[in-house]
Structure 1
Amino acid sequence: MNLVKQVSAASDVPLPLTPGQQVPYEYVVTNSGNTTLIDVNVTHDRVTGISCPGSTLASGQTMTCTGTYTVTDADGLAGSVTNTALAHGTTPGGTTVDSPPDSRTIGVATSLALSLTKSADDSRLYEVGDQVTYTYTVTNSGDGTLTGIPVVDDRATGITCQATTLAPGASTTCTGTYTVTEQDAGLGNVTNIAFARGQSGDTTVESPPDSARVDVVTNRPALRLEKSVDDSRPYRVGERITYTYTVANTGNTELSDVTVVDDRVTDVTCQATTLAPGASTTCTGTYTVTEADAAAGEITNVAVATADNGTVRSEPDRATVQVESKPCHGKDCKPCQGKDCHKPCADQRCDAY
């Protein structure tokens, strides 16, 4: 018996082959002996279910059997597919006859590919200084093992991957972070692009890029002022009143040149004049009670906090204290002396003062 194995002449199989591709084979079997053969069949080390148009071949007769082989990922990794076939028959006397084996080797193209999916928590608004965490899913979508896999991002740094070698079909998860800047706040968002890279021998493979966007709150400077004073008692002329001011940065940007302006107090000083978002400082100032205050019976003053050369201002806050202004009567009066003198009794003062 003779056997010739070939790819079907009627098919248009593109070469080199690729994993998943079907290859139709033809097996041309010839009885080259001088006796009829029965139970004729073909076996193949890769193809099963080979069919023949008959099972008997007279001397000198030929028939063509067919079978189909599907190229595997392993063939892709090997770079070729080699398979061998044999024809078999039996003489009327029961003698088994085999053809010489016939082999064919066909090249298989290795398909190297990476894919990348990038994500971030885009359900919230980010502010300057916030850290965005990115997650990258890298998949080996080809048919060759890839090594030394990193993820490259145009914004995020410190990206780490759970695995850096991927077999065909395998995936890994990588993470990286990015800190939102003032410039991002000005743009209103952060959009960045990433891709994965891997090696197969001397061949470098890169995934298509993927991008993600998160929204950033624009600059929102704000100050809050709380003013306090001991208002549990009345004050006298010449007495110094101490005011305390708590200034908080309630915005999302750093503020500098923090000051407190009070319509009565001129010497307000603050422990800090630069405040990060969420930070606060304490300021203090004093005021000396005047005769006009005593005549009015109280002191109400108003303060505001400012920052960034006065471009940021808090809502005003006020405080009121009482001032003694007891009038003098009869024998309780005496000549006015010293700096504590005022004129509810003309030139005299009350002993109570």
Structure 2
Amino acid sequence: MLAVLVTALCLTGLAAPPASAQPSPPTDIALAWGNNDFGQLGDGTTTSSSMPINVHLPSGVQLTAIAAGSFHSLALTTDGHVLAWGNNGYGQLGDGATTNRSTPVEVLLPAGVQVTAISGGQYHSLALTSDGRVFAWGYNAYGQLGDGTTTNRSTPVEVHLPAGVQATAISGGGYHSLALTSDGRVLAWGNNSAGQLGDGTTTQRTTPVEVHLPAGTQATAIGAGAYHSLALTSDGRVLAWGNNFYGQLGDGTTTNRSTPVEVLLPAGVQVTAIASAWYYNLALTSDGRVLAWGENNFGQLGDGTTTDRLTPVAVHLPVGVQVTAISANAYHSLALTSDGRILAWGYNVSGQLGDGTTTDSSTPVQVHLPPFTRATAIAAGAYHSLALAVREASSTTLTASPTTVTPGQPVTLTAHVTCTAGTPTGGEVVFFDGTTQIGTATVNAEGNATLTTTSLGLGTHEITARFQGEGTCPPSVSEPVTVTVEEAPQTALTLDKRVVSEGPFKVGDRVEYAYTVTNTGNTELHNVTVTDDLVARVTCDATTIAPGQSTTCHGSHTITRSDVTPCKTAKERGGDKGHGKHQVMRCQVTNTAQATAIDPNGDEVTSDEATATITVKVEKKKEKEKEHCRKHHGHKKVYGNDRCDDGHHRRVAEQA
């Protein structure tokens, strides 16, 4: 069927419109789908595809714009060169040959020429240079190359623009071409059988002539169809001229016009971009909607019908969709959305709608772009489509709170996902402890996925979050976060108390004590102190002790009579004379100590009490005499063994 159509096109002079080149960020991804009889998909084959496939670009090449002729394709590189592939029967690939190419070849531009924009016509190509010149190559039977001849060219020749004129935009139509000048005029050349050059005649031109725009009008964009032309004005209106058989001039009639007439846009609509197809047109409005008018036999106007329209109607875009670029060719249309998707509608005999089918659609369907790619530019050929795309990227960051825990203590893991296409609206994040999966969480509207786990065992854990990808947001993995699980803090103190001084002891002796404080827990303790019920002040060698470590503390006490209790009587040899026996009292002095410290949480840790007991000897005889003196004389002192301090001498009787 396509072969018959191509033959018919050649016989009737039916022409394909240009595909306007949209500026795009540099990319090494070019996609193509639809008919591939001439290699116009650029994948090295001539096999058609109803789904986008990768164009085989030269290694290291990056593109900024793409354009389609009827059966060939063009791409602009970041260094100002032009690549071409597909049909080359008239030299429209510009490589000096007329051999079809199924992968891109470089257009042989003149030395030093830097190209800034490209456009494809039916069988010819155009390039705009950085200094405002225009070059053309390919089919030239109607003078559409603008070099003053009708000779086909397999390498670029310069269009004969009027002296001093600089072009700012170009558009290749069926068999004619347009250029926009820096002062807002429009130039046209080539076939003029339906008045598509807009100069008030139907005379063919091999060099540019000026379109007769209304007085005071400045054009800001142009579009060349098969036998008609469009211009967008600085105030958002659209002008049209040439063939009007299907109402493609949008003025409510089917009358051809050799000078521009105004398209009857809906009231209040401002147009920001235009695209011309063979016999219909598209317009992009300032609020992201798309209008269409003209031929509609395959639903290419996208209004849900196959009825031709003499004035613009709205394309039935999905709810909420905003369009940023449009392109149209023979019988199908493309729209680029603000979120990098591509919509297509119209004729689909070769899969040019890119939805995996060959079924026509009178309303937009979504092109099946490769996963995690975002389109940045579009171009419609006669039966194929092109796009530039960039790889989406995502980034996942992970936080853990807390990062040091005890067994069974909850740890909250929070992954945050960001994407170049915007915040993801779903998708799963899988959390891993090393290579072991520990849980899954869904990304919320803020791009966060949260998991709380109590399953981490003792030791150090390297936790990662792996976003699984969603929509146009590809997978990504976070940097690891370390979580340490430690034994639960256990605090314990022991206190050992011992007497350092050597006995025997008596009242009035100074006794030295040593205290050993040991940290028997698993966490450091500080502010170590020891208190003793008899020792006024205890000092420690260290006040901070690590687990398993000890510190020594020191204190002393002078024995007083009130300390000695209880007592036991015992006979001992001795006395002032001879070897008589006298009785002594063996009394005990016991003091109690306790250690305290502060743990890392600020809580007090206390040891068990520790005691030390010493024996203090007190002679019973002396005690009896003291009692006698106190009782009978009111004196407290005894001198020697038998004198009270009032000077009276008496011997203390044994029974006293």
TM-score class normalised by the smaller sequence: 0.3 to 0.5
Q: Which has the larger radius of gyration?
A: 2
TM-score by length of 1: 0.41
With CA pairs under 8 Å and 6+ residues apart, which has the higher RCO, 1 or 2? 1
